[in-house]
Amino acid sequence: MLGLPPTTEVKRPLPKAQLFKRFDWTPSQRERFDGEVSRLDFVNWISPRTVPAIAVGNEVKEIFVVEVQLKRRCFDAKSIELLAKTIPQRIVYLLSYGEEAMLAVHHTKLFTTGWYLIPNVSNLISLNGLNLDAVWENIVSSIGQFSVEEDKSLSEQIKVDEERAKLERQIAALEHQMNATKQPRRKRELFIELQKLKQQNNG
């Protein structure tokens, strides 16, 4: 479905009952997951054995693709986060519902694409990189729609982007507060605070 090399294709079911038995999920977590997911399957295994042109990485030794068939299109992202945190592997999740699908990946946080018609999902990722570290970085940044600066690792870039997004939310909230304030003195205080945040954001 993702247009990956045929040598990577596998079809191995991942029974929900096995997950529930193996991992210490709470009854409410199991109930939510069971209510949203109908079936899971390992569908691709990316490694030097299946793609000889790609070397093993220092951190990433293999990447899996797991297809998650959903019971409803509007799902709770916590279910996929729980699954991603439970299985200590580099995994791309192919979430499918009816004739549509989306991709999700977890690296310090969950990233997802939008919904696409299934034939178009193959355009969303490709195996770019000389080793699996680079391939994984490119997959995560592609799904998350961000770029990794040369002097940063993938995790560092995600942290920097999160801090920048947090600052931008604070700036927007301060601007709204300043515009709503009538008192000149308070308006001035908010303006000074706003300028500091903007300098920090640009720095």
Residues 10-30 pLDDT 10s? 989 999 988 888 888 999 999
What pLDDT score does 48 carry?
Answer: 96
- Average pLDDT, rounded, for the chain: 91
At 69, the amino acid letter reads Q
Looking at residue 149, what is its pLDDT? 87
Per-residue pLDDT tens for 101-137?
999 999 999 999 999 999 898 888 889 999 999 999 9
Quick one: pLDDT at residue 158?
A: 87
Domain ranges of the chain: 6-144, 154-202
Mean pLDDT of 78-102: 93
Confidence of residue 53 (pLDDT cuts 50, 70, 90): very high
* Residue 184 scores a pLDDT above 70: yes
Per-residue pLDDT tens digits for 132-180: 999 999 999 999 988 888 888 888 888 888 888 888 888 898 888 888 8
Instruction: Give pLDDT, residue 3.
Output: 87
pLDDT computed for residue 203 by the predictor: 62
